[in-house]
Amino acid sequence: MSSPVIYMDNNATTRVAPEVLEAMLPFFSERYGNPSSMHSFGGAVGKEMREARENLADLLGCGTDEIVFTSCGTEADNTAIRSALAAQPEKRHIVTTRVEHPAVLSLCKFLERSQGYRVTYLGVDAEGKLDMQELADSLTDDTAVVSIMWANNETGVIFPIPEIATLAKSRGIFMHTDAVQAVGKIPISLKDLDVDMLALSGHKLHAPKGIGALYVRRKLPYRPFLIGGHQEHGRRAGTENTTGIIALGAAAKAAKAHIPLENTTVRALRDKLENALLAAVPDSRLNGHKEDRLPNTANISFKYVEGEAILLLLDQLGIAASSGSACTSGSLEPSHVLRAMGVPFTYAHGSIRFSLSRYTTEADVDYVINNVPGIIETLRKISPYKKGAADPLDPKPACGC
């Protein structure tokens, strides 16, 4: 689409910040050297890469030697979990949650199915929160790694990673966190935490797609996923994505400067959007804990209507958002996150996620506020289910999965 878009889908991906684009462009053209080369043409690129690494380390509150650049968040997650397992071959148990991104969840299911690992999938309550006691009870001497996301991509719900990491450490278990949605939105200081590994992804914080990073705590036993050249000190072979790394460094620097803004301006816009929609549309509800949540995410369900239909009508108006409805995912079941939270089917199919960024304007938010109630109204006119009419019985229990 070429017409301007009201972009409310920043948890899916973000626009590359202008300062990031500017920083990276020369590395596509005149500064194409290989940082491993002996000549100064390549070496100069290595110097810029070091600076990028410093910026990222600064955002995360860790050492530069603790960062491994990867091709994406998914690679960082896969590397972390596989490394933890390979480093402790005698341990055969993994603890994770039912609401992880597929980058973790599908991997755990694969390890369970085809490599015989035992996996505990922790549940969440109606507000998307973990039961810390259940977590503590799940840990055993056989547990190799606890992999729990910092913030949920669908609802924005934040898990208490500092506490979880301390608990894991006290039991001698590796702790990995998928912080793809958290980095750049909330303050993180790894040197003060017991987190062993952390995954992040550039395109969620205004860097381009195809660059990510894995934090690996100093001295943590580590097994590389890609084996080959000496790049990243042998922890991730393959000639570096210099352009992406420079971009991620610039994005990290900008993110650090903007974290206060995310938690004031962006949060205020999100709250305005959320409160206005919940007030204007009867039979709507917020999914996820109201407080323990990313400042940019609002996941709202509209009863009696279906998410894909809402999205397409939003699209007609130039509004980009996403949905946890079954029909949008290509699967037939609504989002695994909403189901884990026990969101009733009457609501789950009509869930819409609005995710903002520092580029979202008040005019954008007002435009959405002015248009969404009409869209829901239109679809409710078509729907056979209505308020007042006998509640559409939910004859079938949620599927056992």
Partner 1 sequence: MWEYTDKVKEHFLNPKNVGEMKDATAVGEVGSIACGDALKLFLKIEDGVIQDASFQTFGCASAIASSSALTELVKGKTVDEALKITNKDIATALGGLPREKMHCSVMGQEALEAAIKTWRGEKVASHEHSEGEIVCECFGVTDEQILSAVRENDLKTIEDVTYYTKAGGGCAKCHEKIAELIAQARGENLAAPAPKPAKRLTNIQRMRMIEEVLEKEIRPRLQLDGGDIELADIEGLVVSVTLRGRCVGCPSSQATVHGVVETILREKVDPEIQVREV
Ligand X SMILES: Cc1ncc(COP(=O)(O)O)c(C=O)c1O
Which stretches of the chain bind ligand X, using CB under 6 A?
A: 72-74, 77, 101, 103, 149, 153, 178, 180-181, 201, 212
| Partner from ligand X, partner 1, none binding residue 388, C-beta < 5-8 Å depending on class | none
Decide: helix, strand or coil at residue 300: strand
Contact string 335-364 vs partner 1 (x = CB under 8 A) = ----------xx--x---------------
Pick the stretch among 175-183, 203-211, 274-282, 378-386 that binds partner 1 (CB under 8 A).
378-386
Residues 199, 176: Cα–Cα separation, whole Å:
8
Question: Which amino acid makes up residue 333?
Answer: E
- Tell the smallest beta-carbon distance from residue 335 to ligand X (Å): 13
401 is catalytic: no
Please, are residues 346 and 303 in contact by the beta-carbon 8 Å criterion? Answer: yes
| Partner from partner 1, ligand X, none binding residue 146, C-beta < 5-8 Å depending on class | none
CB-based contacts of 224, cutoff 8 Å, min separation 6: 79, 83, 234, 235, 236, 237
Candidates 62, 327, 399, 401; catalytic one: 327
| Partner from partner 1, ligand X, none binding residue 330, C-beta < 5-8 Å depending on class | partner 1
CB-based contacts of 72, cutoff 8 Å, min separation 6: 201, 209, 210, 211, 212
| Partner from partner 1, ligand X, none binding residue 121, C-beta < 5-8 Å depending on class | none
The two counts, helices (H) then strands (E), for the chain are: 13, 13
Contact status: 283 vs partner 1 (CB under 8 A): no
Residues 325, 351: Cα–Cα separation, whole Å:
6
Residues 234, 30: Cα–Cα separation, whole Å:
27
| Partner from partner 1, ligand X, none binding residue 73, C-beta < 5-8 Å depending on class | ligand X
Contact status: 12 vs partner 1 (CB under 8 A): no
User: Using the rule CB under 8 A, which residue among 4, 89, 116, 395 binds partner 1?
Assistant: 395
* Residue 385 CB neighbour total at 10 angstroms: 14
* Residue 337 CB neighbour total at 10 angstroms: 26
User: Using the rule CB under 8 A, which residue among 31, 308, 317, 371 binds partner 1?
Assistant: 308
Please calculate the CA angle 372-313-291 and round it to the nearest 5 degrees: 40
- Tell the smallest beta-carbon distance from residue 382 to ligand X (Å): 32
Is the CB of 230 or the CB of 381 nearer to partner 1? 381
Beta bridge partners of 7: 320
How many chain residues interact with partner 1 (CB under 8 A)?
A: 35
The set of catalytic residues is: 327
